[in-house]
Amino acid sequence: MAESSMLQTCGHPRPHKREGPKARFGRGRVATVWSILLSAVIACNPQTQETAVNQGISVIPQPAFVQQEEGAFTLDKNTTIYLEAGDSAILRTVGFLNERLEKAAGFTLPVVTDDPLAHGNEKGIFWLSAGWKPESYTLRAGQDRIVVEYADGAGAFYGLQTLLQLLPEAIFADTPQRGVRWEVPCCSIEDAPRFAYRGMHLDCCLHFFDIPFLKRYIDLMALHKVNRFHWHLTEDQGWRLEIKQYPLLTEKGQWRKETVIGSLSSGIYDGTPHGGYYTQEEVRDLVRYAAERYVTIIPEIEMPGHALAAIACYPELSCGLEDHYETATRWGIFKQVFCPKEETFTFLENVMDEVFALFPSTLVHIGGDECPKTSWKQCPHCQALIRKEGLKDEFELQSWFIQRMEKYINAKGHEIIGWDEILQGGLAPNAKVMSWLGEEGGIKAAQQHHEVVMAPYPKYYLDYWQADPDSEPLAMGGPTTLRTMYEYNPVPEILTPEERKYVIGVEGCVWTEYMPTPARVEYMAWPRMCAIAESGWTTREKDWDGFTRRLETHLARLDRLGVGYCDAFFNPFIEFHKDTPADKVVTISVDAPDTEIRYTLDGSEPTVASQLYEQPFVINRQQVVTAAAFRGGKQIGTTKHKAF
């Protein structure tokens, strides 16, 4: 039979002694037949033994089960891809493999779409559907065949992302690479995500980013199996989404006349207008682009706060306490918020109707954060409304506002998610919470049986420093290091097992006050987003050491893709801990594995013969710490200094 001959020539798969996710998934027809035959092959192999998990394989995020086997599959221009007939989504997914190969290897692979099992004796890459849980896949690579079995389109796409990461990192190059053997190590991988919601946010209001950059952003998310793009589109500092019924929102609301330089309170402005918006056509194109990569775009329309750009265009939406409203030119929180009157709800409902037509996502983000109550306290309409509705205060008015919008949004078949502050005055009945103010809001919401996405600051805020602020560009605060992000557990321990089920995922937040360019966004987001992606995806225990080993290989892929990530990974991080006015306790760490740190205290350049850092030490005011990381007698990364 085709099946058995195919399998018997597939490398030397080995069994895993502990139970992989396979046991939990339940399997489809094809997979069952194949698995039985596969185990028969394994059982006859006297050399079978479990190898160290993940040896020589560096996939990020870490799959649920990885086992490397002996040997490799070599891919060349004669390697055929076999697909089941009629599945255009899988055809598109393998097209991404051919796109990469065309660029990096200078050839593409022929694709045969009929019945892959009928080609069991051929050499090739086989794609087979099997009924496991959503987004799951398995990948088995033997010397003659690679077999990817997928639950659905997303599973196939994630199988492909893993396959790309099994190939030499040169597969991510944009020009044909000479002398590369396109080998995939023989292996057995079984994989499915921990959370359904694996998000990455981008604020396109504090600074505007164009569509080509957003496509690149989505490509990077997809490479890391991140499946929700939270697109922050409206703010005090600019409105970025074309709304046909309210053309002023973009004609005028996209602009701020200038931007504060440095921190929000510097008082110094650049005198240069900043603007930019997305046409509905561009949005549709981006939504389609993202969907082809299994990324759902969740638009955020802020209410009732962070609304100054809209109010500057349509002052009647405010409480009307001021003569003049202008798009904000500095960062922060503004008291000019939407007034809860009929005109405002008509506006927001009309905006939402256009949003629903553009974004197929069931979930829409309605903001809800940082809404000062100053204007509402002074506004006769707001005060009368509080009395009329029997509300206790302005916090209950905020809740009333959100609940009213939720009713409308639910009636249109959509659901809302909002930042923690939507808990103020009571959560809307069907709302999900995006927990950013630490974990508290997330815990409260889960205890009330509302679904929660954990995006806490500073643990998942990518706008915080990732290394010593002394030598980093201006950022929001911190530092929040790669390790801190990696080790954060997004499911708070305090929750009961039942409540934990309400944590549906994680998100990394990228607020762009101090990220005026795409390059700065990439610098701040990567590689820390790799850590969040791994927490969102893997069902395995955290393993910092293993993560750093995989990440070092992975960084070479990001290099090929031209991602300007922060290189703090390779550099010593010198930290001073307060002791006495004359002394400080010093700790030094480095993320890169298999390294040693050498340092001096007299300002000289450390060499491989300098003092080895073994434990915290004390310095006085006259001393300066200069440290470098070494591997195999050679320095890696850059030398770092820190003085009193």
Q: Which residues bind Zn ion (CB under 5 A)?
A: 319, 339, 379, 381-382
> In the complex, what is the shortest distance from the CB of residue 340 to Zn ion, in angstroms, rounded to a whole number?
7
Strands of the sheet with 596-600, listed across from one edge? 611-612, 596-600, 624-631, 634-643
Site for ligand ACM contains 570 (CB under 6 A): no
Q: d(Cα 138, Cα 189) in Å, to the nearest integer?
A: 5
> In the complex, what is the shortest distance from the CB of residue 417 to ligand ACM, in angstroms, rounded to a whole number?
12
Closer to ligand ACM by Cβ: residue 436 or 570: 436
Residue 183 forms beta bridges with which residues?
A: 74
Structure tokens at 355: 């949003």
The string of DSSP letters for 468-511 reads -GGGS---SS----HHHHHH--SS-TTS-HHHHTTEEEEEEB--
Site for ligand ACM contains 208 (CB under 6 A): no
Residue 51 forms beta bridges with which residues?
A: none
Among Zn ion, ligand ACM, none, partner that 183 touches (CB below 5 to 8 angstroms by kind): none
Among ligand ACM, Zn ion, none, partner that 369 touches (CB below 5 to 8 angstroms by kind): ligand ACM
Site for ligand ACM contains 292 (CB under 6 A): no
Site for ligand ACM contains 419 (CB under 6 A): yes
Of 76, 36, 66, the C-alpha closest to 139 is 66
Give how many residues touch ligand ACM by CB under 6 A.
4
Closer to ligand ACM by Cβ: residue 194 or 365: 365
> In the complex, what is the shortest distance from the CB of residue 382 to Zn ion, in angstroms, rounded to a whole number?
4
Site for ligand ACM contains 478 (CB under 6 A): no
> In the complex, what is the shortest distance from the CB of residue 316 to ligand ACM, in angstroms, rounded to a whole number?
26
Closer to Zn ion by Cβ: residue 379 or 530: 379
Amino acid at the residue 245: Q
Contact 190, 20 (CB under 8 A): yes
Residue 359 forms beta bridges with which residues?
A: none
Closer to ligand ACM by Cβ: residue 464 or 570: 464
Among Zn ion, ligand ACM, none, partner that 366 touches (CB below 5 to 8 angstroms by kind): none
> In the complex, what is the shortest distance from the CB of residue 480 to ligand ACM, in angstroms, rounded to a whole number?
14
Does a cis peptide bond (omega within 30 degrees of 0) precede residue 61? yes
In the list 115, 370, 559, 596, the residue contacting ligand ACM (rule: CB under 6 A) is: 370
Position of minimal CB gap to ligand ACM: 369
Closer to ligand ACM by Cβ: residue 3 or 369: 369
Does a cis peptide bond (omega within 30 degrees of 0) precede residue 593? no
In the list 251, 282, 369, 472, the residue contacting ligand ACM (rule: CB under 6 A) is: 369
Encode 195-247 in three state secondary structure: CCEEEEEEECCCCCCCHHHHHHHHHHHHHCCCCEEEEECEECCEECECCCCCC
> In the complex, what is the shortest distance from the CB of residue 320 to Zn ion, in angstroms, rounded to a whole number?
7
Among Zn ion, ligand ACM, none, partner that 370 touches (CB below 5 to 8 angstroms by kind): ligand ACM
> In the complex, what is the shortest distance from the CB of residue 254 to ligand ACM, in angstroms, rounded to a whole number?
21
Among Zn ion, ligand ACM, none, partner that 381 touches (CB below 5 to 8 angstroms by kind): Zn ion
Contact 172, 220 (CB under 8 A): no
Long-range contacts for 612-617 (Cβ within 8 Å, ≥24 apart)? 613/572, 613/588, 616/577, 616/585, 616/586, 616/587, 617/585, 617/586
Closer to Zn ion by Cβ: residue 259 or 398: 398
> In the complex, what is the shortest distance from the CB of residue 434 to ligand ACM, in angstroms, rounded to a whole number?
8
Q: Is residue 96 left, alpha or beta, with left meaning phi > 0 and alpha meaning psi from -120 to 50?
A: alpha
Contact 282, 312 (CB under 8 A): no
> In the complex, what is the shortest distance from the CB of residue 379 to Zn ion, in angstroms, rounded to a whole number?
3
> In the complex, what is the shortest distance from the CB of residue 442 to ligand ACM, in angstroms, rounded to a whole number?
13
Of 485, 488, 482, 469, the C-alpha closest to 591 is 482
Among Zn ion, ligand ACM, none, partner that 216 touches (CB below 5 to 8 angstroms by kind): none
DSSP tag of 413: T
In the list 436, 460, 464, 465, the residue contacting ligand ACM (rule: CB under 6 A) is: 436
Q: Which residues from 242-271 bind ligand ACM, rule CB under 6 A?
A: none
Residue ranges binding ligand ACM (CB under 6 A): 369-370, 419, 436
